[in-house]
Amino acid sequence: MQSWLPIPESASTVSGDVDALYFYLSGITIFFTLLISGVVIYFVIRYRRRNAFEIPRPIEGSTKLESLWSVIPFLIAMTFFIWGVKVYFNLYRPAQNAIEIYVVGKQWMWKFQHATGQREINELHVPVGRKIKLIMTTEDTIHDLFVPAFRTKIDVVPGRYTSEWFEATKPGRYHFFCAEYCGMNHSGMGGYVVVMEPAEFENWLSGNAGQASPAVAGRGLFESLGCASCHGANAEGGRGPALIGLFGSKVVLKDNQSVSADESYIRESILNPQAKIATGFGPIMPSFQGQISEEQLLQVVAYVKSLSTAKPEASTAKPPPAAAKPSPTAKTGASPK
């Protein structure tokens, strides 16, 4: 219905709200532009100087009029603000019960990994009608993932996790691209979100099985990097804090401050362990800066997360399942509703 307008297709639950606000802003702007230009032209003609000796009547000003043209624009501006805040918070408040997908930007490609292990480059398959939460970072410089049809757009920033969510409303292929200049091939750093019917998506997922889930890969890294020597073979603790149940909890630090153990905290504690040491532990952990890529970091974070969110079997002493048979049921958000 909007095909006559030069705006992208509308294909997510928020795109209608964003468009409505955009049209409202444009409408008000056009209205006042026409009104003010019209009045200017009218006054120029109506009050033009009619003879060379004409002296205008002095004007004292009018408090009533001046208040009116201050208060009315103020109220109109407040509607922009309130409506804008509403749309903004809806967009940036983390989604609940979302399917989580990890994203790493890199010169010049987008890498995605599903919680069930499937990896993709410059293409992202998602089911229609489900909230998708992207947990994002970058290997090098700042990039920005922009999906015009979903009206979602957010930077990926070195050394930090950002996140965005969307819920696609109709199947299709939607262009996405990097919206932050990042060097020579910036313009080619894009691809497509493929939105599928849930059953079709399940099919796609199982057809692309065979890759270890991020949590399982993270467990492998946990062992190969020697984390187990301090955090326990099953992350139950030892010379380092126990990691079971850590994610999402409050960690009390040496100076009695507390931080919430989110993705960023886990990441920081791996790269810069001295930054926030949990109370009762010494500053003995070495930094893993330079030994682990952003993708691997996300996998270790996924492992630590799985120790708090997944069912008990994920955190028992079993060795990591063979990479050929990841179980989609053990991970969060994989089952369609």
Tell me the pairing of strands 131-138 and 99-106.
parallel
Number of residues that bind ligand CUA (CB under 6 A): 9
Q: Closer to ligand CUA by CB, 145 or 149: give it.
A: 145
* Residues from 29 through 48 that contact ligand CUA (CB under 6 A): none
Q: For residue 329, count CB atoms less than 10 angstroms from its CB and return exposed for 0-12, middle for 13-18, buried for 19 or more.
A: exposed
Q: How far is the CB of 100 from ligand CUA (least distance, A)?
A: 22
Cα(first)–Cα(last) distance of the chain, in Å?
30
Provide φ and ψ at 250, rounded to 5°: -95, 130
Tell me the pairing of strands 190-196 and 250-252.
unpaired
Contact 253, 259 (CB under 8 A): yes
Residue 294 in the binding site for ligand CUA (CB under 6 A): no
Q: Closer to ligand CUA by CB, 98 or 189: give it.
A: 189
Q: Closer to ligand CUA by CB, 164 or 180: give it.
A: 180
What is the chain's percent helix, strand, coil content, to nearest 5? 35, 20, 40
Q: Closer to ligand CUA by CB, 101 or 189: give it.
A: 189
Contact string 180-209 vs ligand CUA (x = CB under 6 A): xxx---x--x--------------------
Side-chain-side CA neighbours of residue 258 (13 Å): 6
CA 282 to chain centre: 35
Provide φ and ψ at 12, rounded to 5°: -135, 170
Q: How far is the CB of 95 from ligand CUA (least distance, A)?
A: 24
3-state SS assignment for residue 126 = strand
Q: How far is the CB of 87 from ligand CUA (least distance, A)?
A: 25
Contact string 161-180 vs ligand CUA (x = CB under 6 A): -----------------x-x
Q: How far is the CB of 178 from ligand CUA (least distance, A)?
A: 3
Measure the CA–CA gap between 333 and 101, rounded to whole angstroms: 10
Q: Which residues share a beta bridge with 123?
A: 192
Q: Closer to ligand CUA by CB, 113 or 138: give it.
A: 138
Q: Closer to ligand CUA by CB, 108 or 176: give it.
A: 108
Q: Closer to ligand CUA by CB, 19 or 139: give it.
A: 139
* Residues from 64 through 123 that contact ligand CUA (CB under 6 A): 105, 108
Pair of tokens at residue 83: 């409506």
Measure the CA–CA gap between 93 and 151, rounded to whole angstroms: 15
Q: Closer to ligand CUA by CB, 140 or 236: give it.
A: 140
Q: How far is the CB of 294 from ligand CUA (least distance, A)?
A: 14
- Token pair 């996405």 is found at 176
Contact pick of 114, 130, 131, 143 for ligand CUA (by CB under 6 A): 143
Residues of the shown chain interacting with ligand CUA in the complex, contacts defined by CB under 6 A: 105, 108, 143, 178, 180-182, 186, 189
